[in-house]
Amino acid sequence: MKFSAPREALLEPLQAVIGVVERRQTMPVLANVLLHAVEKGALSVTATDLEVELVATVDVQVEKGGEITVPGRKLLDICRALPDGAAVSVTLSGDKVTVRSGRSRFTLSTLPAAEFPTVEDIKAQQRVSLPQAQLRRLIEKTQFSMANQDVRYYLNGLLLEVAGPIVRSVATDGHRLALCELTIDGADSTPQQVIVPRKGVLELQRLIGDGGDCALEIGTNHLRVALGGIRLTSKLIDGRFPDYERVIPRESEAPMMADRLQLADGLNRIRILANEKYKGVRVELKPGSVTVQAHNPEQEEAEEEIEVQYDGASMEIGFNVEYLIAALRALDAESVRLEFRDAASSCLIQDPERRDCKYVVMPMRL
C-alpha cells in the first residue's frame, strides 16, 4: 500500500473519526484506525469502539492499494504537527507504515486489517432522507435530557421514531423529558422506534453540518447515517422506551406566558444560592407574576419576582432549576408558554407559536 495527499486532506478524515478511538481499550486494535486505499484514488479511514463506527472517505493519489491499521491518535498528531500545505506520503512495507513529509519521516507499528472489527450490512428495514439541518435540530433540541449511566439502560440514549411523515426524537432521564418532531416528504409509512445510545448521539451531533442532506438507514440492531463523505454506524439499545405520550400533561386552561430570556435570566440568578446537590427552587404563581425562591444549607436565600401573563389560581411548586433553564435555552422564541395544572403535576414548556418541541419537568418536594 502506498498513497500520497496534502496534509489537510489526511487531517480532515482523521479528525472526523478520532472521537471513537479508544484511549483505554480492551482490544489493542481499537486504538488503531483502518486505512483502506483503493486503486481508483480513494482512501477510507475507519475507527470503532464496538458501539459506534465512523468511516470517512477522501480522494488521494494511490500508487498501490491495500489496507492496514495504524495507531489513530499518533497518526493524527503527526498530521497536525506538519506545516500547512505539506505533501504527505504513506507507505506500507512489511509490518511497518512509514509517513514521509519533506525532511520528516515517521515509522509506525501496525496490526493486520483482518483483526479490525467492521460492520458491513446492517440489514436496513427503513430508509429516510432529510436535510442535515433538520436532523441537527432534532438532536440539539432533545439530547440534553438523556440520562447518563442510569441503571435503566434504555434511558441512556435518544429515542428516534419514524411514523409516516413524522420523524420524532425524545429523551428523558426520568425527571424531565424533551421531545422534538418534524414532517418530511417520502418517509416510509411503517412506524418504527429505535434507541440510539448516548455516544452515538453525541458523535452524530458533532459531525452534522448545516448544509446538504443526510440518509438514515434503520436496521434491527444498528442505525447508519451518511453525511457526505462520512458514515456513522451505531449499535442500538435493546430495550423498551417509556410511553412518553403518557408523561406529557394536557394543556391547562390558564397557561403562564413569559419573556423567555427574562425568565431564564431570573432563574440563572436564583440558581446561585440553590442547594448545590438538589438544585431545588420554589416557584410561587400568582396572577400577573411569578416569584422564585431558593435556600441552601448555609441558611442563604435568594428571591426574584418576574412579571408574567397569568390569571389562573395561585400555587406553589418545587422544581429543579437546572431543568427549567435547560428547557428555556432549548427554545428559540422570544416568549414561552408554561402549563401548570396543580402543585403535584409536571410543568409543560413550549413555544406558544410552534408546538414541534415540548419540554416536561417533573415537580420536586422541597
Q: What is the pLDDT of residues 181-238, one digit of tens each?
A: 999 876 566 789 999 999 999 999 999 988 899 999 999 899 999 998 999 999 999 9
Average pLDDT over residues 72-89: 97
Span 121-157, pLDDT tens digits: 998 988 999 999 999 999 999 999 999 999 999 999 9
Q: Which domains does the chain have, with CATH numbers?
A: 2-115 (3.10.150.10), 126-246 (3.10.150.10), 248-361 (3.10.150.10)
Residue 292 above 70 pLDDT? yes
Q: What is the tens place of the pLDDT at every residue in 116-131?
A: 999 989 989 889 999 9
| Pick from 74, 67, 27: nearest CA to 46 | 67
With cut-offs at 50, 70 and 90, classify the pLDDT of residue 366.
confident
- CB atoms under 10 Å from CB of 264, counted, come to 18
Span 69-88, average pLDDT: 97
Residue 12, Cβ density class (10 Å: 0-12 exposed, 13-18 middle, ≥19 buried): middle
- The pTM of this model reads 0.93
Cell of 157: 440514549
Report the percent of the chain where pLDDT is more than 90.
88
> Cell 475507519 sits at which residue?
46
d(CA 31, CA 45): 13
For residues 15-30, give the mean pLDDT: 90
Confidence at residue 186, expressed as pLDDT on a 0 to 100 scale: 65
**276 Cβ contact partners less than 8 Å away, ≥ 6 residues apart:** 296
Helices and strands in the chain: count of H runs, count of E runs: 7, 25
